[in-house]
Homo-oligomer: A and B are copies of this chain.
Amino acid sequence: MRKVAIVGGGLAPFGVRQATWKELAQEAGGATFRDIKNLERKDVDSLFVGAAMPERFAFQSHVAPMVAEQVGVTPTKVITRTELACASGQSAIRMAYACIAAGLSDIALCIGVEKMNIPDPPEMQTSMACVLDREFDGVQGASAPPFFALCANRHMHDYGTTREQMAMVSAKNHHFSTTNPFAQFQKDIPVEKVLTSPMVAPPLRLFDCSGITDGAAGVVLTTAERAKEFTDTPMYILGSGQCSMGSNLANYKSFSTWFPLKEAAKEAYRSAKIGPGDLDLAEVHDCFTISEIMEYEDLGFCEKGKGGKFIEDGKSDLGGKIPINTRGGLLGTGHPLGATGIAQAIELMQQFRSSVPRQRLVDNAEIGMAHNLSGAANVHSILIYGRNPP
């Protein structure tokens, strides 16, 4: 197995964009190539496009070759789109990682893209609901906000987690996003404002929820051996973990513990030969405030049930035990489904390069995690990245 590195990447600004999905993909592709010295488009031999739902948001299928044409690459080894709902972007990186590691590709481009703000909001909302099982769960009214509200209520009941603690997650991540010109939301949202924002699905209010966002992101992967041809500061893949457990909500063993996350984390730490204490920072999937709190616990950053206290004590803030979501998370930057996992990788890469703004820099960071959940948190995907080769 060959070792693999990310040698650069770039973003299309996240937000409500006057741009089609193709234009967003092209912007991210352009930013990616501008970031990487010595890489020409003709040298890319594979393309992985992470996109969750262009069939519904743009009535367009088979998007991978359209991205190839739009970005100006001609993959001669591998091309595919990966779809895993909210983890579609990380899934693109994972497949590129596998192909490079196996020797099936030498230089892979990953583009994650989603255009979610469309002229027909009910179509967008109904489409978002279909990431859960329509036959089992959709008919009961389950979509993302009600599902995560179930988790929040159960976590409050089981562990005494408070609304204030959830609001602190939102305030922290929105504060980080004030440093991020690529974020959809760039204003501070203090705890009080979260707690009084409009109710969405009790107990979750508007600022407990990530946004409906247009955006795109790109990274290039190659072998660790060749990485220095393209950048002085490659970021290496140290390990990975992923687990899918169940789908139908009626079969869940718990709503306050995500067992597939614990499994994915175990495999990620095992393959990277590290423990949670070795991480200098992490990007975790804060689609809702309660998600980040549960992730502190099930990723092993704190004891089970102590996630609320973890945020309250500032352990996930800059200067804390492990700074979390320094780019602003999904809550602050928005969540264009296919782009998020790739944007997280870019943040870690820029942290390792010390090229993020000083206000969110984690000094001398060497090991970081990127985590995505998808659907009703029944699938969890983790990559562990390092500033130094494995």
Name A's B-contacting residues (CB within 8 A).
Answer: 1-2, 20, 22, 47, 52-53, 55-56, 58-62, 64-66, 68-69, 74-85, 91, 94-95, 97-99, 101-104, 126-127, 130-135, 240-248, 251, 263-264, 267, 374-375, 378-379
Evaluate contact between B104 and A103: CB separation under 8 angstroms.
no
Q: Which of A65, A130, A241, A247 gathers the greatest number of chain B CB atoms within 10 Å?
A: A65
Known contacts being A78-B94, A85-B61, A374-B62, is A69 close to B1, with CB within 8 Å?
no
- Top 4 closest pairs, chain A to chain B, by CB: A101-B102, A55-B55, A62-B85, A102-B102
Asked if B267 and A76 make an inter-chain contact with CB atoms under 8 angstroms apart, the answer reads yes
Interchain Cβ contacts under 8 Å between A and B, 15 examples = A2-B102, A61-B83, A65-B246, A65-B375, A75-B242, A76-B263, A77-B242, A77-B267, A78-B242, A79-B379, A80-B95, A81-B82, A82-B83, A98-B98, A98-B102
Residues of B contacting A263 with CB < 8 Å? 76
CB < 8 Å neighbour of A104 from B56, B74, B98: B98
Docked-complex contact B95 and A134, CB < 8 angstroms: no
- Find out whether the CB atom of A64 lies under 8 angstroms from the CB atom of B244: yes
Are A243 and B62 touching (Cβ within 8 A)?
A: no
CB distance from A336 to the nearest CB of B (A): 15
Contacts A75-B244, A77-B267, A245-B74: A61 and B94 contacting too (C-beta < 8 A)?
A: no
A62: chain B residues within 8 A (beta carbon): 52, 83-85, 130-132, 374-375, 379
- Asked if A83 and B80 sit within 8 Å, CB to CB, the answer is yes
Report whether A84 and B99 are in contact in the complex, using a CB–CB cutoff of 8 Å: no
Query: What B residues does A134 contact at CB under 8 A?
Result: 58-60
Would you give the shortest CB distance from A85 to chain B, in whole angstroms? 4
Chain B residues, Cβ within 8 Å of A133: 60, 66
Q: Which residues of B contact A66 (CB under 8 A)?
A: 133, 247
- Cβ distance A45 to chain B, nearest Cβ, rounded Å: 9
